[in-house]
Structure 1
Amino acid sequence: MNKLLTFSLIVFLFLSCKTDKKSELDFYAENKPSFFDLRNGDWTKNSWIRKPENLIMVHESFKKFGYDKLENLIFKSDKEFLIQGIYIKRNFKNLTDSLELTFNKPELQTKYYAEFWNRRKAEKNDSVVYEIIREFNTMKSDKKQRNYENRFVNDTLVDLLQIEFDNDNLNSKKAESNFYTLKRYGLNQSAYNLLYERAEYSELELDREKLKKELKKATEYTYPWLIDTEK
């Protein structure tokens, strides 16, 4: 619990945990954008996400995509919540509210909050984390708020979030467009998974064999951004 980076970006942990090895002979090349290790890496050892500029980029990209589209990935009850195997025995809303309230106020901090903010100060990202938490709390009460600073947005990350989580009215035309978006970013293994390993795409009519031939092969398997959900 004490290793959680920031609760305004907590949903992103859902994008970072599942990996699975492949047995097929054909592997496909997978580029690694700057944020790639957030999918397959260990957040507790990740120095990239602790940098203020990267926290801001992820936050502003999430705002553009819409935090509300990710909220169902947190399993909450009144006294606890669960995020991809990380169990927190606290009320989620009370926790984020308390983190905002106790920033730079040691007289209000219990041991938990003092340790949280001391870690952020040691990482030199405490002010940024506070602003993210403050904005996140505001968005909890006004889910229509979508104000974001475009200069900090990473369009690649937004596109990948849309492909994975914005699947309302998904059809064959949109699926093919998503395939070519992944291919354009050099995420060939992810594009393969879209064709063959994603439940939401499995019933759509696509010329899978033709599209597969367009992918760039690799000599070894690389964990993809768009994970296999069929296993």
Structure 2
Amino acid sequence: MSAAAPAADLMSPLALFMHADIVVKLVMIGLLVASVWTWGIIITHVTRLRSINRATDSYERDFWAAKDLDAFHEARGKEEIPTARIVTAGLGEWRRSIGLASSDRSGARERLTTVMSAEVEGELDRLSDRLNILATVASAAPFIGLFGTVWGIMRSFTAIAGANNTSLAVVAPGIAEALFATAIGLFAAIPALIAYNRLTHGLDRFEARLNRFADRFHATLSREFEREG
């Protein structure tokens, strides 16, 4: 039992890190920093997406129940949510269009579609900011960890050749240190990959929701064009 305890201490994560080559240490540190950064992005995006969905639920419910859209927009048009900004863009274009001397309603409807579609795309760009980092970590981290592993194993084989001793007691610590780099790479990559897929799916659903809202609002403004005409 007394021999097993030192062996276990040598195989602990801290011991594996401390005994690793400087290159492998740098790989491990970089991967740990990437993992912390990844979790920060994940928590930020999950929290923000849930908050925006709740705020959008409230805004849409009150918007479609409102009798006076101008009064509603005056009261809640400055809310920092995508649907409020879509309404602001749509109403702005609608007011500019009805103020024109020309009665080209078809052109006005096309401009409304363009303006609100551009606003939806802009909102999705803002919401998806830094998601590319998750994709990069998910794809690159295993290979960076593998580089640390290959480097560490090469170092271990060099040490074995110098010592002229191929016993497991000599080989195992160096190889374990090297494989630990791959383990850290997977530790960083797996959450990043899962989170990227889930967040992308959530953003796709939210994009569809914004497009449905924009389409309904476009139909509402089109009816207003008919009344103005």
Q: How does the TM-score come out when normalised to structure 2?
A: 0.23
More helix by share: 2
Q: Report the structure number with the largest CA radius of gyration.
A: 2
